[in-house]
Structure 1
Amino acid sequence: MLNQQKITEVTFYLLLNILNTKGRGCGSSNSMVVSDMDYKVVFAALETVCEDNISILCGPSDLPYGAVARRLVTCMREIQEHGRSLKPVIASFTAVFHHYDFDAQTPGNGYRTLAKVLLSCLMHIIHKGRYIASNYNSAFFRADHNASEIEAYCSALCQLRALLHLAEQLMSDNGYGELYSMQDGDMSRRFVQEYSSMHKACFYGRCLGFQFSPSLRPFLQTVVISMVTYGETYSKQQSGLGLAALSLLTSGKYVIDPELRGAEFERITQNLDMRFWKSFWNLTESGLLAGFSRIASYPVQVNFTLTVPPVTLHLPLASDPSLTAIVSPPIAHWGPGPVLMRLISCELREGQASEELLAYSRSDPPPITASHLPWVQTQPRSPWLLIHFHGGGFVAQTSRSHENYLRTWSKQLSVPILSVDYSLSPEAPFPRALEECFYAYCWALKNCHLLGSTAERVCLAGDSAGGNLCITVSMKAISSGIRVPDGIMAAYPATLLTTDASPSRLLTLIDPLLPLGVLTKCINAYAGADSQTVQTAAGSGSLRALGRDTAALLSDLTQGASNWIQSYLDPMRTTGGVRSLSLAQTGSAGGATRGTPASASATHCGARVDYPEGFEPLRSECLAFVRLTSCPVIRNPFVSPLLAPASLLKGLPPVHIVASALDALLDDSVMFAKKLRDMGQPVSLTVVEDLPHGFLSLYQLVKETEVAADICVEQMRIIFQRGNLRKRPKLGETSPSGSQSG
């Protein structure tokens, strides 16, 4: 029998390749497929590895590392018990999770993701277990290190077991093929309450990023270490480069102590306020990091910013171009104000060097034009125009943060790109960003001749929050009666800005880039539930603060070096309210509490989750306060388009969604694509493998992110090249058929 035989090396590495495929044609029909044989082989291998290790470690009494051996045996027995309990759960998932896919050619949903994440964790345990069994008597065997690794993955496996139990409850509570239960708030409340008390530090220490492409893990470790060191120094009276330098030099202890890193990251993601996240994410706007990005990306001949004043626009009605629709400037919260944009073009085109366009420029120094580069030949206007809305959770970043891939898109598609720097929350909650993006879209249609385009075909593109804005801007165009874009490319869009539970949203308990505590802060900020004193867009630029610390940089470097040295001299030093505790003190790695009774669990959570008898997930000593997204605004269809009625979605242009299998927002994409398809709307969904939310911002880091970005480019190319280009009537002009062409 399979489960009574040792698995050969060939089978093991073949299986490792199956479960951790790198770049195997992202979105292919083989993506996210966990076959019956795959999981059976994994669980059989796990059982064999556990038995082998227990047999060896409980063998002759003259084996070295007695205390470590006892730790390993305890962990192997726990892992064995978890594996035996989880095997039937995965079996039940594999039997039905194809019912939740978008279609048979696009396997991908949160249930598949959870199964894949679990099997990936098991593969790491199997690999480490085989190494321990083979090298335990080696003179170079690092006993304590390997025991700590197994303990960390044992903790992760315990927590994944809890997530799969919650997923089972979702599957039983939801309707057939439904990934969300938006009518039953009880499960969503339990999900939030479990997040608040469950131990998560193990996923940010030694196990960090185990579910993602191996080539991304060094980058994820860098991000997490940067975040925790930045959080440690956040309370100091610095910002920008000075604080970043101080953070860099205090990071040593987090490199050598993964448990401390995980505990500190858990604290930060659960309890630091929105100002911290805005400050950290906006570090990508610094001149140094932006400069590196520009060096690595394609050179372009046009790249400057615009400030468009708030004037009323007049556009032809789509149904009758002889009639005019009036588009008012954005007014929410503080009244009319300018809209900020960035124009990027790989080639200098007609209109882009005109005095009329340069009058809008807010660049300092002013943009380089044809008069500065007389040898540059001005190209004719492109028939295409790409309008881009950046991601950042509605709270952070600008077009500058996304320049690296926008420059590449402009080169690959040979198209001018207008990226909108909409006002950010919480200073500018909904609907300010939507109003500004819609106004920018209308202004671009009316002034396309200045942007180097005839706008015969217009595509909206955005990622995450920007994907949401692409959809809602199109909905607003439909409701206003003006021309809709010719297509939308939305990368991992946020289509449901609530804390409603779904299987993929369970990943927010383990995701280092999109933890639930951060997600809810962004949602509440955009909904206005956490709004601060509003201020005009002109006064809220994130770039101006970045230069204020240059004079203090040397002092920061000295202080940072002192702190780093002190961390080695005093390893028990308290940092940011988290003390580095030994396994014996905490009961498990990263400050978790093992064996918490059910009554304590109910106290932590506020609502009982009925786990299987004898099982309880690890609880954190650092409880989170997660504010439920109860503000009525979040169910506005222009905030959560997944909730929009058919009347607002009917008439949307073709929507091309590119999602990631390991993204907590995967189910947003799957359900929105299903909704459009069931309405008869043109829609496509591509699911890429092994990448986190925000993979476009990781463009050029690894091959997998480049492949995923290329898929986005191909979707936009389809939009631009669909059908024959037909000349659209100018403003006030009527097409031969009496309606606007296109």
Structure 2
Amino acid sequence: MRDSEECDSCAPCEVTSSPVYVMYQVLKDLCMNNAQFFQQDETENGQRLHAGFLALIDQVDMITPMVDEVRNVAPQFDFDEDTPGNGYRSFVSTVDMCVQHGVKLSRLVCDSRDSFLFRKSFYMREVEACSHLLASLGTCITHLQTLISWNTEGQLFPDEQHSTEVLLKHVEDINMYCFYGRCLGFQFCESMRKILKTISICMASFSEIYYGNGGLLARATSSVWTGGKYLLDPELRARRIVNISQHASVNFCKSFWLLAETELMGRLPGMVCPAVAVNKVIAIPPEPLVHMAPDGSAISVPIPTAHFGPAPIMARFLSAVTREGMITDLKEHVPNMLPPSSGLIIHCHGGGFVAQSSRSHEIYLRDWACQLKVPILSIDYSLAPQAPFPRALEETLYAYCWAINNARIMGSTAEKVILVGDSAGANLNIGVAMKCIELGIRPPSGLFLAYVPVLVSIVPSPSRLLCLMDPLLPFGFMIRCMKAYACPPKDDASRTSSDTKTLEGSGTESFEEVSESDLQELAAHKSALSNGSDTLTSVSLTSLQSKPEADESVEDNGPPTPTEQNMSELLEKYVLDSDTDSEGRMIPVLRTEPEVEENVLFELPPRQDLGLSSKLGRAVGNIASYVTGTEPQQLPAVIKQGQSMSLGSESLEVLDSLMQRSPSDDMHFTIPRDPYLSPYLASDEVLKQLPPTKIVSVQLDPFLDDCVMFAKKLRKLGVVVSLDVIDGLPHGFLNFSQLSKEARSGSNQCVKRIQELLCM
């Protein structure tokens, strides 16, 4: 239908007193036009469409004055006039995007309702979903009004007399299912909506593997066939995601996020990212380390020992160009080798302190290395819950000092060392800078922090409520990550280095059946590695090996399980290579030969022998079991309609039928007020000594208020600081920089800020 015909068929638009609300009035006019049209339709779907449009009009009338109140007070919480952004603005923007979504939907119905092919039942569900969405946002706005009454001028964090529990006890009346169904991702830019929808479908499908029954391969195959139902049934997907986020343990979060570490995803950077000259995995041995302070004094850097004693720290070294003194795989001198760089970037990845590694962050690190032309060392710190606070901070500090002492082998003079990190990694970087100030170690030349949490606690700020609708960081996931990192079980303190194998999970445990002679045989059959491939530097390899027993001493564990047999058979077409696992230790990874087809997983060749391939197959099977959970996982007993229901063989069905509960139900723990855990709590004396700091956040990030308040605090203390707030992107957008043009633009903004730090 032409624009002129559209205007003729729909009710005329009336401009309200404020131009901001023109879109709100347009939605009401379109809804009224559609409601009048379907009023004469006596079918069930027609009457439900009629009621749905009338409900939308009521919701718009109800929410408009509340949004207006929040919109008017939001500017007083900004970092400055040139940087509009805080949790109040985020919710106002979210409501505006919902209204915009309603306008598009209503206009589409208005244009196609006379068509013979008009799908009445489909649009009925879409209109009802939009109405529920606006109603839930209205409930959120009422809670924001409570927060406004708690806030003092310009302060997004209320004082301690106002607890999060008080606020969240009333959040249970928010229908969270509407945020993960048909309207999933409505608040983000168009390119991210498709990505987030795909991730949500994958999360729901992955739960079938994680909580299902039968063998690993059977569950994986079943999820491929049944996963399509989450695409066709958005309501089922919404129930599954909300219930997973509220009832699943941190191990599910960890396992799902570890999918980014799989071989298939590991090959993605090589296919879509620019090539780099050097991409090496380095093992930093836990040896005595002396650091020369700026005043010339020698400082002994503490070796990381928390929870399970000394262990190697893994890191990934990337460089777009080869420089003098740099460790490479090249046997001959490279012509036109560049002189050492004056800069060095030390990077810490995000992942909620519980998942991911430098490998899963290569998607943007390669691009940064090529744009900045500066060597990058990305630290694979140990992860919670196996390695809770302060283990990761200890390792990051040690790796930072080691990098300065050994900058030459990374092709740098380390005149300017910039600490770069996103999310949890950015939090660790602030802690490292604070430790340097405390110990007298040379501080970094600058800090770049992307969407950083500076308060590891359940603080009642407006942006934290965005977790109630965030597809990547639901409220339950955030709670469990914080608890796993900051509140380890009391008996963790008694663990010693003898427990290391148990704690390390897939890394060391998976190699228990592989002898030294097997490793030598494997190394002899490894093919040459091209530039940019993952390799383990030979200088540090000895620090990884732990004197394995002789081959003949390996015990016979009986017939291989189906998982082990399937994995060993795959080795007939695959070659093992070295990489790091999620805990930062060397593991075998599968690397395909050129002739292997993409669907080799579904064309298993017959098993040939029970030699090295079998034993390594068991090792890889152990890794797969750790990531996906070979044994069917159980959810805790739940209460529904007054009856106790434990999840056994019917766990998947029960998971879909669980009742939504209040987020406050998960908050039965206390996070210590440690400034190295929550840098916002650090003393002014320490914070004012921080180096120039650049912070990048996004408007729809649950930690946006953390970034705004931390930037305000640093500026007040005289620290050179800047803050960028990017629209339309989610927390963790850097990992999608090669898939979304808006995320790519945000990544380029980060490069610009890092470059400014290097040139200061």
User: TM-score under structure 1 normalisation?
Assistant: 0.79
Distance in 2 (CA, whole Å) between partners of 1:8 and 1:656 is: 52
For residues 570-610 of structure 1, give each alpha carbon's deviation from its aligned partner in whole angstroms, at most 9, with x where no partner exists. xxx988235889xxxxxxxxx9xxxxxxxxxxxxxxxxxxx
Structure 1 position 208 matched with structure 2 position 247: no
Aligned letter for 1:631?
Answer: T
Q: Does 1:143 align with 2:182?
A: no
Shift of 1:143: 0.2
What is the CA RMSD across the aligned residues, in angstroms? 3.1
Q: Which residue of structure 2 lines up, in the alignment, with residue 628 of structure 1?
A: 667
Residue of structure 1 aligned with 2:27, choices 37, 40, 46: 46
In the superposition, relative to structure 1, how do residues 8 and 212 fare at CA in structure 2: closer, same or farther (>3 Å)?
A: farther
Counterpart CA distance in 1 for 2:101 and 2:697 is: 25
For the pair 1:111 / 2:88, whether they are aligned, the reply is yes
- Taking the aligned partners of 2:507 and 2:267, their CA distance within structure 1 comes to 14
What is the alpha-carbon distance in structure 1 between the residues aligned to residue 232 and residue 738 of structure 2? Answer: 28
Is residue 220 of structure 1 aligned with residue 201 of structure 2? Answer: no
Pick from 269, 276, 281: which aligns with 1:305? Answer: 281
Residue 508 and residue 220 in structure 1: after superposition, are their counterparts in 2 closer, same or farther (change >3 A)? same
Shift of the alpha carbon at 1:9? 11
The answer to whether residue 179 in structure 2 is matched with residue 199 in structure 1 is no
In the alignment, which of 202, 210, 233 is matched to residue 257 of structure 1? 233
The match for 2:709 among 658, 671, 679 is: 671
Partner of 2:71: 94
On the 8 A contact 1:264/1:576 being kept in 2, the answer is: no
- Counting matched residue pairs gives 624
Structure 2 unaligned spans of 5+: 1-5, 512-562, 571-598, 604-648
Shift of 1:42: 1.9
Cα deviation digits, residues 330-360 of structure 1 (max 9, x gap):
111122222111111111222223xxxxxxx
Q: SS state of the match for residue 104, structure 1?
A: coil
Q: Unmatched 5+ residue regions in structure 1? A: 1-5, 16-34, 354-367, 559-572, 582-590, 592-619, 723-742
Q: How does 1:51-70 map to 2 (within 5 A)?
A: 51-59=32-40, 63=41, 66-70=43-47
What secondary structure sits across from 1:536 in the alignment? helix
Report the equivalent of 1:693.
731
For the structure 1 residues 303 and 211, does the alpha-carbon distance in structure 2 shift closer, same or farther, using more than 3 Å as the test?
Answer: same
Counterpart contact for 2:345–2:417, Cα < 8 Å: yes
Give the conservation status (yes or no) of the 8 Å contact 1:249–1:557: no
3-state secondary structure, aligned to 1:399: coil
Question: Distance in 2 between the 1:391 and 1:693 partners?
Answer: 10
Distance of 2:361 and 2:174 partners within structure 1: 34
Equivalent positions of 1:552-631 (< 5 A) are 576-577=652-653, 621=660, 626-628=665-667, 630-631=669-670
Residue 711 of structure 1, CA deviation: 0.6
User: Contact between 1:329 and 1:337, CA under 8 Å: does it hold in 2?
Assistant: no
Check if 1:648 corresponds to 2:686.
yes
Instruction: Specify the alignment match of 1:585 in structure 2.
Output: none
Task: Tell me which residue corresponds to 1:369.
Answer: 329
Mapped contact 2:275–2:320 kept (Cα < 8 A): yes
Code of the residue aligned with 2:323 in structure 1: it is R
Q: Aligned equivalents of 2:326 and 2:215: distance in 1?
A: 36
CA distance in 2, matches of 1:557, 1:169: 55
**Which of these residues, 290, 300, 304, is aligned with residue 326 of structure 1?**
300
Say whether residues 1:473 and 2:512 are aligned partners.
no
Deviations 1:611-658 (A, max 9, x none): xxxxxxxxx54666743274342x211111112110221210011000
- Indicate conservation of the 8 Å contact 1:459/1:489, yes or no: yes
Q: CA 1:74/1:288 → structure 2, altered by over 3 Å: closer, same or farther? A: same
Cα gap change, 1:659 to 1:644, in 2 (>3 Å): same
Partner amino acid, structure 2, of 1:418? L
Question: Does the aligned pair in 1 maintain the 2:694–2:722 contact within 8 Å?
Answer: yes
Amino acid at match of 1:369: D
For residues 8 and 195 of structure 1, the distance between their equivalents in structure 2, rounded to whole angstroms, comes to 43
Aligned equivalent of 2:323 = 349
Mapped partners of 1:575, 1:150: distance in 2? 32
Distance 2:17 2:707 in 1: 26
1:160 aligns with: 137
Distance between the aligned counterparts of 2:115 and 2:365, measured in 1?
52
- Indicate the residue corresponding to 1:502 in structure 2: 461
User: How much does 1:552 deviate?
Assistant: 8.4
Alpha-carbon offset, residue 212 of structure 1: 0.4
Q: Give the whole-Å Cα distance in 2 for the aligned partners of 1:279 and 1:306.
A: 25
Structure with more relative contact order (C-alpha pairs < 8 Å, separation 6 or more): 1
Matched, 1:437 2:396: yes
- Deviation, 1:531, is 7.7
Q: Does the C-alpha gap of structure 1 residues 243 and 406 become closer, same or farther in structure 2, counting only changes over 3 Å?
A: farther
| Structure 2 CA distance for partners of 1:455 and 1:531, relative to 1, 3 Å | farther
| Alignment check: 8 A CA contact 1:210 1:217 kept | yes
Normalised by the size of structure 2, how large is the TM-score? 0.77
Which moved further from structure 2: 68-77 or 645-654?
68-77
Determine the C-alpha separation between the residues in 2 that align with 1:70 and 1:552: 59
Quick check: 1:269 aligned with 2:233? Answer: no
SS of the residue aligned with 2:286? coil
Deviation of 1:8 (Å): 9.2
Contact 1:271 1:625 in 2 (8 A): no
In the aligned structure 2, how far is the partner of 1:137 from the partner of 1:214? 28
Q: What is the letter of the counterpart of residue 338 of structure 1?
A: P
Say whether residues 1:414 and 2:390 are aligned partners.
no
Partner of 2:542: none
Residue 290 (structure 1) shift:
0.7
- Please say if residues 399 and 420 of structure 1, whose CA atoms lie closer than 8 Å, have aligned partners that are also in contact: yes
